[in-house]
Amino acid sequence: MSQSDEAEYRDGVVLNKPVREGRGSFVNVGLTKEVQIDRCLEAGLRVTVKMKPAVDGTCSSGRATAAMLRRVSSPQVPEVCFCLGL
């Protein structure tokens, strides 16, 4: 998956980056900017992140907004069939 690919879910790694009190960890999900999730997790942990779109799905530049809070998801939730290319 490349940076330009849009997906409802992305896998990533929790970064060892300081966060403000009451905020969640930052995760590298392969985009130009890391995303912030809804909880604090241990650095180095692999997670699946639900990429919540803006109301219209994009910001004024046409790209998904990076400043929104994302949710950590169970890895079993995103079911994709790659065998048929769907």
7 near 51, Cβ under 8 Å? yes
Domain that holds residue 50: 1-86
Contacts of 55 (CB under 8 A, 6+ apart): none
Q: Which of 4-8, 40-44, 69-73 has the highest mean pLDDT?
A: 40-44
pLDDT tens readout for residues 10-44: 889 999 999 888 889 999 999 888 999 988 999 99
Burial class (CB in 10 A: 0-12, 13-18, 19+), 79: exposed
State the CATH number of the domain containing residue 33. Answer: 2.40.50.140
Distance separating alpha carbons of residues 40 and 23, to the nearest angstrom? 7
pLDDT tens readout for residues 42-65: 999 999 888 866 444 444 334 444
Look at the chain and report how many structural domains it folds into.
1
DSSP state of 56: T
